Structure 1
Amino acid sequence: MNFFSSTSFMDSKEHCPCSSFPVPQSLHVEVEQDILRSVQAILRELDGHHPGLQCDQGMRRWTLHKKIDRNPISCDILIKILIKELEKAERGDNKHYIIPLLHILMHTIIKAPYISDSLYERVYDFCKKLLTLPKPYCIVGLDCAMKIKNERAVPGLSYQRMVISEQNLRSKVYPHQERVFVFLDPDLISESVCNALLYEAHAAQGQQTPTACMSYVISHSMQAALGSQCDVQRLQKTLEDKPTDVLESCFQEVVAAVELTREEASADRKRFVERLGKIYEKIVAPSAPGAASLKRPQSIPLPSPNISFYLWTDDDLIRKELFLYTRPASQSSEDLDGFNDQSRISVVSADSGIEGDLPPSTEEISCTSSNKESSRLQRRHCMKKKIPVLSSAALAPDTCEASTAKNSGTLHRKSGLIIENTLRPKKMYTARIVVLGDDRVLGRLAKAYYSLRKSEARRPLLTVKANLQFYYIPVLDLQQHSSATNEHTTLYRMECCEVSMYLGKVDPWYESNISTLCHMIPKLATMPSSPSKQLASDPFITDVTSYYVRMGMQPVCFQIYKVKIHFSDVSQDSVEDVFLTELRADIQDHMLPKESMLTRKKMNVESPGTDILINYKKTSLSSREKEVNTLLHSSRLMMKAIPTAETEDLVCLNVSITEVIKTTNLSGRSFCVSACTNTSTIRTSTIEIKIKSMAHRTFTVCLDKDSRRVYNSVVRMEVSPCLEPDYCMQKMKVMQLSPDVHEDVGLTKYMSKSLLLPINTFAGIVQ
């Protein structure tokens, strides 16, 4: 028995009244007023005029989405209100409303049970208007317009793809996979906070079985396409009674219909409704007829992403976990050892050239196992044979993504910091790496990212398979400072969370949703340890993290700096390291030799600090470089890479020098310490700092405020923007072929020269 004829689905476009859900007028007015108040509260929050406490920011957006989940009839009402507010913001002087409201709108559309075609058209027309605005509005508008165009032709496409990729459901037509990696530094975050985060994530993902997720996809796709013609309650009851293999077959059929319509040159919603209508008849018709349920939209849950937590105890943990994530299922975990060996491939061998001295490889093991008699030592060439690597052109999508900032001396704010990912090829894996902590954890992330790019430049294994996305959630665990006042907490955050403070200034929606987690996450540790039903049903931290990794797709790129450190002991080799936020150098107390103790009494009062010689290249707005030399008597030097104001440039080291000024009074010579301002800001592409001291003085260098990254007895430092390893590798090949050519030619002309760490936000940099 056919409950629906094919002609009924053929005519089920927006103008057909049977496709929309009827809403009582009294309920409509009450819901509309409630939602309008919530939206206006969010707008007041963006203006900074909300009377509520700052810790309540971000809760309003979360509460609004929870209202929609509990009452799916209000989805259309919310979308209409958001469009009205967006149109007013675009016409008026409130453009900072646009991107936050647009993200609320897109998240609502993804979860909406059914949206009319006319409403899709209105949203699409508005997104096209944003293309005339400057960055980042045009970029976010283009991304939303493309998604709305696909969603209008194939309703439910975004939801289906999101659940399939995040839950790693098997699908031949859409094999893309995603995973969220959350790295917690145990030295920065207490054990109680880690346990609270882990418990909430497990409570949120406890009911997300593969069969439940497949049922969600089928129900949402049917309801989004068929509207009121879909009896969702009956469909869900039928799916629950089906065996797993039958349910998976239905799931694969629905996914194939959705992807087939998406791939068609002229994707037609009318044809898509007809295809899903036939599948719906096949699923529901064999079931026993029951009482007809009310034709109301049903809220289909959007499962949380697959989140994996890791205690970041090993500096190489990110690279190892990414390898395990992207390796084929046929490989065993023992291949990780081989991966570590491959990442240390050297062109020139340091061995004796005898085969027996070489480490065994897979080829040698197979040969010896088949022919053990031929195990005599044989002379081999001392030059190792290069392992064939992928063509450099294969790395072009990764290395050329920030080609506008190719010249490291060019100011990034001038040339744009937002990377357009729309034209990049689709990779099978997406790894969303989330780090929690303060600026110190970002310093570790920059160092791990630099190590990963170096290994990938030698032999690309991960970047050709996976798309890496980086996210940062600031967390200040002040349990050890329980007596700290609010003023002390604010100052501590300004000192230790400079990156999040900067991101909050350039992206108000990041400040409203993510920066507020800085103090909210540690409060989880003070909650009772007994299981809470409310925590399992409304996991706030997990929901906000899921919202961030799903909607935060516009990166802000921070320059990574490389420092070469030379020590006073000439027998000690120099060390190369990287930093992201700051480098601090203090004069180190040094004991004079015994032979100089007698002469010390005859010397005048010894002045604090030492003479330092600073040599750097100053870059002007016209990108012309001028070499500058400065000699100062200083006791401290501080390099800040994160600007204090959102209007300043990210590729500009702010060098503050504490200068010691000699003065003379009646009792003799004295010294006063003051801040040197003549070199407080240096726009430079290369800076070399040399310490010249006649009193055996050395520096103690600390990178990224991390006490674990301290170097003593330093006499010279060379700091410069870190170059992209892929660029260096390609440049070396060009120099080998043409030693006389010094400028960028060939592929290097289009490659990114500087190594940038992209931190995803919702808007990028809002001018």
Structure 2
Amino acid sequence: MENQEVESDFLRSVHALLRELDGHHPAFQSERGMLRWTLHKKIDRNPSNGAILIKILVKELERAERFNYHHYIIPLLHTLMYTMIKAPCIPDELYGRVYDFCKKLLTLPKPYCTIGLEYARQLKLERMMPGVLYQRMVSAEQSLKNNSFPYQEKVFMFADPDLLSVSVCQALIEEIKTAQMAQCARSCMLYVIERAFQTLLKEEQRDVRNLHSILQAMPLDVTELCFQQVMAAIEHTGRTVNVEYNQYVEEVRKIYTTLLSTSGEDVQKDEVERSSGIPLPNPRISFHLWKDEDQLWKELVLFLRSPSQSCEQDSLNPELDSFEFQDLLSEYDYCEHTRFSVLSNDSGIERDLAMPSNEICTAEAERSRLQRKGCMKKKGTSLDSLSFLQSGCSGQETKPTEKLHRKSGCSTMEPLAPMKRLHTARVLVLGDDRVLGRLAQAYYSLRKRESRRTFLTRRLKVEFYYVPVAEEQPTTSPAEEYALPDQTELCELAAYLGRADPWYESNINTLCHMIPKLATMPISPSKASASDLFITDVIAYYLRLGLQPVFFQVYAVKLFFSNATLEPAEDIFLIELNIMLEEFNPPSDSLPVKKKPTTEVPGTDLTLLYKKVLLSNREKDESVSVRSTGLIMKAIPSNEIEDLVCLSVNVAEVVKISNLSGRSYSLVTNTIRTRNIKLRSTEQRSFTVCLDKDSRRVYKNVISIEVFPCLEPSYCLQRTKNRQTSLQEEEDVGLAKYLPKSLLLPINTFAGIIQ
């Protein structure tokens, strides 16, 4: 009777979850995501009920596949797999049904076949070695040092202090600290050991219940040795094809027997049975206020150079261990304006150095020309080129086709054996569209550094996650002249991801206004437990299952100023470029004296040169002159019907109208779709340009701009090398034809783009 009540409760919760996906509860949109979190919390409190929930989820998945309810499949499958990781002792019959369902998904288009294949592989591994998904996840996320599974992961949470208030940042820090109170390395090792014994040693379940106190009473070195032995047994089974399941169980039983023999009998008799089960600790999160432009790159370098993270290291402390960046920074600064690499391609003899044409041989020029970086003549290895080939492809074909539709799907390519990356950095940014523009800048800078000297790419895999956060009153300086849009327009990319992936909309977009509310709630003294923390639990769920990236084109812009002495500025943007034309007030003496003054027409005459984007993948050169009061270039489509990788240029055009009372005008908005555009003011009147809605990225006194897709730095490097060694004008020769041409920023979601 008790199991029937539990099953009925789970069934009601799952049906409520499906109704939420259908949008049948518009009055509770602000609470979306709570149903999924509550459902998994029930498993945390009583893991033995996991098999009941999995049975219900399998039935609903089979029903969704039978009646073509495809929008249910991915949310239900993610919920099921997360339950399997949390709950031990799943019957083989359920494993078989889930595995067969995942194989059926291979006949469906992306992203169903991609997710189905990945989960089928995990299920096959879990069925061969029960508990391996849990143990590997905990070992990697907590960076537990062991020789058998050396993979390490770290979560970097970046918050822009200019966009988020101090109270919001402090509330996030407090919740992260609360979640990590009981997550030291020793506790996580105990969880892994207990989970292995609980999953495999079914005959000794009564003794396994006493294991927690046995391990707690042992010294740290004994716990570490036991953890190493358990992980070695698991990984040995995974690497050896001929090892049977019984041999794997016997190895774990030996470790368990040795552990019992070294423990005291009194500890086993006095132990009280634990009712809460073995928890799945949240990933360790390091919180960072994004103040330095190079902070992301420096943190990634520290992650590679530092030893394994442990509980003793405070991941929330901004004062990290000192690291000598002079070597890397100096070489980067030196190469910024001179060359791409520190590898010398010349003989080193002074007379063989290339002399630019029309160079005035002054003493200063001669001194700067003779300065050389200490380096040796060395032929670049193919390892550097291959690392770019792998890190830049982002899971797509090596040479991208000129398709208009946005790309999504699998993550980065599997590296080759000699270049296997053991570190994964999960970069999570909080904020609105403005912080994403900053992320695009940091990503471009990182790729540019790596094109000059490969340091991170060969050993580190970087994944990007985005949680929208919008406060009621954005924290802006009162002296700023640029008027910010309202809150709905400040989260355009999050709205697009919500339309592309409904599960992202239900679980992540709900945090947009929930996180600011967290800052206003009083801190309860009884909230010392990490069992009921909603924000960190949802973020952990997103980091673990949000593995399908959506790729966004980064655009470059070149700005020319009215002052001819100023060099043109170059920048990039991800979401929006806004052009505001300055009001023109002619002086009174310039008006004709004897003629009747005519109606003043607002705006400025502009000339637009662009390539029109068509659905046939053809491009048509266009040239148009308009009088406009301003225009906005949008890189994010407003709806999923016209999801094209192009710029939507909305021009506010001034149209003159003749009537009986005289000439007047009206404003008409026209839309142009293009990838490349040049804009120039024919009246030499300047205008203001704002990038990604960020008042900190405003350019004034601009008279002309050029916008085009930003090129991948590694592609530019190879193309430049080919031009130096060959007189041909062909761009795609050598390694350049295998590299992606455009720079795409991947943002991870649960499903990518659902067709």
Q: Which runs of structure 2 are paired with 1:722-761 in the superposition (5 Å)?
A: 722-761=710-749
Partner of 1:685: 675
Q: Is 1:417 equivalent to 2:408 in the alignment?
A: yes
Instruction: With the length of structure 2 as denominator, give the TM-score of the two structures.
Output: 0.87
What residue in structure 2 maps to residue 337 of structure 1? 326
After superposition, the C-alpha distances for 1:705-750 in whole angstroms (9 at most, x for unaligned) are: 1111111111111000111111111111222222314142332222
Distance (Å, rounded) in 2 between the aligned partners of 1:600 and 1:65: 82
Superposed CA offset, 1:583-630 (max 9, x none): 110111357689858899987444211111111112333433221111
Aligned AA (1:560): V
Q: Which residue of 2 aligns with 1:353?
A: none
- C-alpha offsets along residues 216-260 of structure 1, whole Å, 9 cap, x if unaligned? 110011112223533332111110110011111111111111111
CA drift at 1:206: 0.8
Stretch deviating more after TM superposition (173-182 or 661-670): 661-670
Return the alpha-carbon distance in structure 2 between the equivalents of residues 120 and 271 of structure 1.
21
1:521 aligns with 2:515: yes
Cα shift readout 1:45-87 (whole Å, capped 9, x = no counterpart): 1111136511121000000000011111110011111111111
- For residues 304-453 of structure 1, the aligned pairs below 5 Å read 304-329=282-307, 333-346=322-335, 381-382=370-371, 384=373, 391-404=384-397, 406-407=399-400, 409-413=402-406, 416-421=407-412, 423-425=414-416, 426-453=420-447
- The aligned residue for residue 224 of structure 2 is 248
Q: Which residue of 2 aligns with 1:702?
A: 690
1:582–1:638 contact (8 Å) kept in structure 2? yes
**Residues 527 and 347 of structure 1: is their aligned pair in 2 closer, same or farther, counting only changes over 3 Å?**
closer
For the pair 1:201 / 2:192, whether they are aligned, the reply is no
Alignment partner of 2:234 out of 240, 258, 263? 258
Question: CA separation in 2, counterparts of 1:596 and 1:220?
Answer: 86
Please say if residues 603 and 629 of structure 2, whose CA atoms lie closer than 8 Å, have aligned partners that are also in contact.
Answer: yes
Deviations 1:152-172 (A, max 9, x none): 111111111111111111111
Moved more, 384-393 or 726-735: 384-393
Post-superposition shift, 1:132?
Answer: 0.8
Partner SS state of residue 335, structure 2:
coil
Please report how far the alpha carbon of residue 341 of structure 1 lies from its aligned counterpart in structure 2 after TM superposition: 1.6
Output the CA distance in 1 between the equivalents of 2:202 and 2:413. Answer: 31
Kindly indicate whether residue 257 of structure 2 is the aligned counterpart of residue 281 of structure 1.
yes
Structure 1 pair 150–590 and aligned structure 2 pair: CA distance change class (3 A): same
Amino acid at match of 2:170: N
- Superposed counterparts of 1:498-513, under 5 Å: 498-513=492-507
Which residue in 2 is equivalent to 1:664?
658
Q: Go from structure 1 to structure 2 and tell me whether the alpha carbon gap of 1:51 and 1:392 turns closer, same or farther (over 3 Å shift).
A: closer
Letter in 2 for 1:38: S
Partner of 1:607: 601
Whole-Å Cα distance in 1 between the matches of residues 368 and 172 of structure 2? 58
Residues 609 and 479 (structure 1), Cα distance of their counterparts in 2 relative to 1, 3 Å cut: closer
- The answer for the alignment partner of 1:621 in structure 2 is 615
2:144 aligned partner, one-letter code: L
Q: TM-score under structure 1 normalisation?
A: 0.86
Equivalent-residue separation in structure 1 for 2:253 and 2:529 (angstroms): 38
SS in structure 2 at match of 1:477:
coil
**Compared with structure 1, are the counterparts of its residues 162 and 135 closer, same or farther at alpha carbon in structure 2 (3 Å cutoff)?**
same
Change (3 A) 1:36 1:87: same
Matched residue, 1:67? 42
Post-superposition offset of 1:381: 4.5
Within-5 A mapping of 1:215-254:
215-227=190-202, 229-230=204-205, 231-254=207-230
Partner secondary structure for residue 685 of structure 1: strand
**Distance in 2, Cα, partners of 1:156 & 1:33:** 28
Match for residue 68 of structure 2 among 93, 113, 125: 93
Map 1:536-615 onto structure 2 (within 5 A): 536-589=530-583, 604-615=598-609
CA shift in 2, pair 1:616/1:216, >3 Å: same
Q: Secondary structure at the match of 1:53?
A: helix
Shift of 1:197: 0.8
Q: Does 1:269 align with 2:245?
A: yes
Deviations, residues 483-535 of structure 1 (Å, cap 9, x unaligned): xxxxxxxx944311111111011101100000000111111111114534276
Aligned positions, number? 699
CA distance in 2, matches of 1:480, 1:689: 31
Letter of the structure 2 residue corresponding to residue 338 of structure 1: D
Structure 2 SS opposite 1:705: coil
> Are 1:299 and 2:277 matched, yes or no?
yes
| Inter-CA distance 670–422: structure 2 relative to 1 (3 Å threshold) | closer
% identical aligned pairs: 52
Kindly provide the amino acid, as one letter, of the partner of residue 262 in structure 1.
G
- Is the deviation greater in 281-290 or in 451-460? 281-290
Check whether the contact 2:213–2:271 (CA below 8 A) recurs between aligned residues: no
Distance in 2 (alpha carbons) for counterparts of 1:450 and 1:74 = 47
Look up the SS of the partner of 2:621 in the other structure: strand
- Which of 1, 6, 19 aligns to 1:44? It is 19
1:310 is matched by which residue type in structure 2? H
| 1:141-220 correspondence to structure 2 within 5 Å | 141-220=116-195
Contiguous gaps of at least 5 residues in structure 2 = 309-319, 340-366, 476-484
Q: CA deviation at 1:664?
A: 3.5
Q: Check conservation: 2:470, 2:487, Cα contact below 8 A.
A: yes
Partner amino acid, structure 1, of 2:680: K
Give yes or no for contact 2:627–2:654 (8 Å, CA) kept in 1: yes
Question: Which is worse superposed, 172-181 or 545-554?
Answer: 172-181
Using the TM superposition, name which of 229-238 and 629-638 deviates more. 229-238
Distance 1:385 1:411 in 2: 46
Q: Which amino acid aligns with 2:52?
A: I
Tell me whether 173-182 or 584-593 shows the greater mean CA deviation. 584-593
Tell me which residue corresponds to 2:351. none
Call closer, same or farther: CA 1:725–1:593 in 2, change over 3 Å: farther
> Could you say what secondary structure the match of 1:760 adopts?
strand
Task: Indicate if the aligned counterparts of 1:616 and 1:628 stay in contact, CA closer than 8 A.
Answer: yes
Give 1:177 shift.
1.1
- 1:751 & 1:315 partners in 2: Cα distance? 27
C-alpha RMSD of matched pairs (Å): 2.8
SS of the counterpart of 1:410? coil
Aligned residue for 2:626, secondary structure, equals strand
Deviation per CA, 1:447-495, whole angstroms, max 9, x where unpaired? 11111111111111122221111000011111579xxxxxxxxx94431
Specify the code of the residue in structure 2 equivalent to 1:97: Y
